[in-house]
Structure 1
Amino acid sequence: MTKRHARIITAVVFAAGALFGLTACGGIYSGGSASVGHVVDKKATVITMPDGAANVALVCNGTTGVYSGQDHGGLFVVVNDPACP
């Protein structure tokens, strides 16, 4: 086997491994979602940060505030939140 053949075989094996590695992480979506016991159908108050990118949304459910972050999908719940009358 020449060096050229070895390089071609190495490139093909590497490409196949990369393709398998990238597609194996995708997972299979079942198409379903969790059941919902309670829906709060209210408009959210959007808190815009000075950079305009890291915004936060607030929805009140009684005196409980539910904060949702835009960039990383974080969710925070604050019981007896002063922002929720």
Structure 2
Amino acid sequence: MDASLWIAKTGLTAQQTRMQVISNNLANVNTTGFKKDRAVFEDLLYQNIVPAGGQTDANSQTPTGLLLGTGTRVMATEKL
């Protein structure tokens, strides 16, 4: 699968889970003792495209490098 499509897929999957958590919160808002949940996200691994201090062209360097993210995921749901 193309990398950009994979990144988009992971983001959409995470947002789908977030919407499910919100739907659960709304469905149970009047339940005695119910505490709402929240989806917690985390980044997936980064690919190091240009190392820190690497040349970008003949006259400049990147001080922090260039990192490319590979998506996101839901790490957990927590009670508020």
Q: Whose radius of gyration is greater, 1 or 2?
A: 1
TM over 0.5: no
Please report the TM-score for the alignment, with normalisation by the length of structure 2: 0.32
Greater RCO, CA 8 A, separation 6+? 2
Relative to its length, the structure with more helix (as a share) is 2
Relative to its length, the structure with more strand (as a share) is 2
